[in-house]
Amino acid sequence: MTELQQLHQRIRACRICAEAEKPLPHEPNPVVVLSGTARVAICGQAPGNLVNQTGIPFNDPSGDRLREWLDVSRDEFYDPARFAIVPMGFCFPGLDRHGGDLPPRKECGRTWHEQIFRAMPQIELKLLIGGYAQKWHLGKMAAGSVTETVRNWRSYHDEPQDGVRTLPLPHPSWRNTGWLKKNPWFGEELLPVLRDEIRRLVK
């Protein structure tokens, strides 16, 4: 068994958040895709309830939109030789009192992320989906709001950190349809560069 396989096995058995002072409201079901060959890492927020039930990342309308942005098929997207998928929280965090998803659990980032990316040195591009992933991976370089950070995408893409380019993206949730209409530059300027990168690294 490789080091990466052993790491994935430990993550799948993780119960840190279930045993925390404020425990996960259900049994843990970590959803993460590690790869020793993928050159692109999709760094999102946390699985939703549907993903929690199926164990398949982005197996929902948000995933459909993300695959459209990337211009890849489901088979390409779910090929671990092409894409690693490392959300900020590996388990569905539960719902708030308004019925929305709670923020990703912080235990995952603190416990696993450094180990994961150290074990995947071949990654050349990180897609940072949403504010939690952007703040974690960009740190003080994040511009502030998700809109500001995504609008500033050229500086992250054109100035790699340790040889890794980053592209910040809004969340592909259908709730962000209004955001996309208000920010046409995303589709006109960023998406063509994103698709060129995916063709170069994945196709």
Distances (CA, A) of 32 to 57, 69, 73, 116: 7, 21, 19, 10
Beta bridge partners, 101, equal 95
Structural domain including 178 reads 3-201
Quote the longest CA-to-CA distance of the chain. Answer: 49
Q: What is the pLDDT of residue 203?
A: 83
**36 touches 116 (CB < 8 A):** no
Q: Please state the domain count of the chain.
A: 1
> Average pLDDT, stretch 71-100?
96
Q: How far apart are CA 38 and CA 183, in angstroms?
A: 30
DSSP state of 41: E
Q: What is the pLDDT of residue 143?
A: 81
Amino acid occupying residue 192: P
Q: Is the pLDDT of residue 100 over 90?
A: no
pLDDT in tens, 8-21: 999 999 999 999 99
DSSP states of 20-33: SSS--SS------B
Terminal CA-to-CA distance of the chain, rounded, Å? 28
Q: How far apart are CA 145 and CA 39, in angstroms?
A: 27
Q: How far apart are CA 198 and CA 79, in angstroms?
A: 14
Q: Is the pLDDT of residue 170 over 90?
A: yes
Report CA 184 to chain centroid distance, whole Å: 23
DSSP states of 84-127: EE--S-SS---B-TTSSBPPPPHHHIIIIIHHHHHS-TT--EEE
Q: For residue 152, give every residue at least 6 positions away whose Cβ sits within 8 Å of its Cβ, in sequence order, or none.
A: 143, 168
> Average pLDDT, stretch 115-119?
97
> Average pLDDT, stretch 69-96?
97
Beta bridge partners, 40, equal 83, 125
Q: How far apart are CA 116 and CA 108, in angstroms?
A: 11
Beta bridge partners, 33, equal 85
Which of the residue ranges 125-129, 142-146, 179-183 would you say has the lowest mean pLDDT? Answer: 142-146
Predicted confidence band at 99 (pLDDT cuts at 50, 70, 90)? confident
Of the two residues 57 and 140, the one the predictor is more confident about is 57
Q: What is the CATH number of the domain that holds 21?
A: 3.40.470.10
Can you tell me whether residue 153 is helix, strand or coil?
helix
